[in-house]
Amino acid sequence: MARKSLMWILLVGLVGASILAASCGGEGSMGDSQDGSENGQSSAMSETTMKKMEDTAEETTPAGKTESGEAAELARAEIGRREITNMLPADGKRPDAPQPLPEDPPKGIEVYPATTNRTVEGPIEYDRKPPTNGNHAPLWQNCGLYQEPIQDRHAVHSMDHGVVWITHRPDLPQRQLETLRPYGNENYIIVSPYPGQDSPVTVTSWRVQLNLDNADDPRLEQFVNEFKISELAPLSGNRCDLGVGKPTG
C-alpha cells in the first residue's frame, strides 16, 4: 500500500507540472512559435526603451533639463593638481570671493585642460593665441582698456586672478570698439587689441575661451558676467591692480 501511495503521489506531481508548463506557454507547437515571437518582440522593445532611458539620463541634468556639450564639459572642469592656489593678493587683503561656474554657459565656448600657473622670467610660448592659461610673468596686467597690445605673459597672470580678457582685431570697426569701451571700466576686465587673432572679438577667462564675429553678440556680456572671478582660476579674487600697464579707459 505504501508503495502504491508513493506512485500515486509521483503521478499527480507529474500531471501538475505539465499543466503548469502549458499555462506558461511551454506546450504546443503553435503556442511555442507565437510565444517565441511575442517574447522576442517584447525583449527588443525592452532593450530599445532601456537604451533611450540611458541616453536621456546621460544628456539631462537632475532637473530634467537637457545639458549642452559645453555645459557638460565645463561641469567636469576643476582646478588642476599642479596649479598653485595659496598666494595672497599684493595688497595683503583677503581675496574677493570667486563665483561658481555657470550651469548654462554661452554656446560655443572652448574649455582647455589645466596645466601649471608658475611665475617665470623671460618670454613664454603659449599653445594658443590669445592664450588661456599656463605659466606667466611675476607681475600681472592692470585691468582696464588699452589702445595698444599688451604682453600675453602679463595678461595670463591677470586671468589667473579671475580676470576676463577681451581682445579684438586692431581693425575692428569704430562702432564695435565703442561697444567694448565700457567693459574697460569694470573690475576684473581687460580690453586690448590683439594682432593676428582669428576672430574679430575673443573673450577669455582662465581655461575658457569664446570667439565672436562682432562685439554686439549678446554672448559677450553673458561670458563676462559668468566667468569674471571664476572659481576655475586658481588665484581667483586676487584682483588686478598694483601690476603693470597704464590703461587708457
pLDDT in tens, 119-158: 999 999 999 999 999 999 999 999 999 999 999 999 999 9
Encode 30-56: b = buried (16+ Cβ within 10 Å), e = exposed: eeeeeeeeeeeeeeeeeeeeeeeeeee
Q: What is the pLDDT of residues 76-122, one digit of tens each?
A: 999 999 999 998 898 889 999 999 999 999 999 999 999 999 999 99
Angle at 20 between CA 19 and CA 25, to 5 degrees: 100
Question: For residues 92 and 49, which has the higher predicted lDDT (pLDDT)?
Answer: 92
Q: Which of 227, 220, 242, 82 is nearest to 154 (CA)?
A: 242
What confidence tens digit (pLDDT) does each residue in 159-191 have? 999 999 999 999 999 999 999 999 999 999 999
Query: In whole angstroms, what is the distance from residue 164 CA to residue 141 CA?
Result: 12
pLDDT band at 225 (very low <50, low <70, confident <90, very high): very high
Task: Answer whether residue 203 shows pLDDT above 60.
Answer: yes
Asked if pLDDT for residue 36 goes beyond 70, the answer is: no
Specify the range with the lowest mean pLDDT, choosing from 70-74, 190-194, 197-201, 203-207: 70-74
Q: What percent of the chain has pLDDT over 90?
A: 69
3-state secondary structure of 99: strand
- pLDDT reported for residue 222: 98
C-alpha cell at 98: 570667486
pTM for the predicted model, two decimal places: 0.74
Residue 27 has pLDDT above 90, yes or no: no
The closest of 81, 77, 76, 197 to 128, measured between CA atoms, is 197
Q: Which of 4-18, 32-46, 186-200 has the lowest mean pLDDT?
A: 32-46
pLDDT over 60 (residue 60): no
Sign of CA dihedral 117, 118, 123, 124: negative
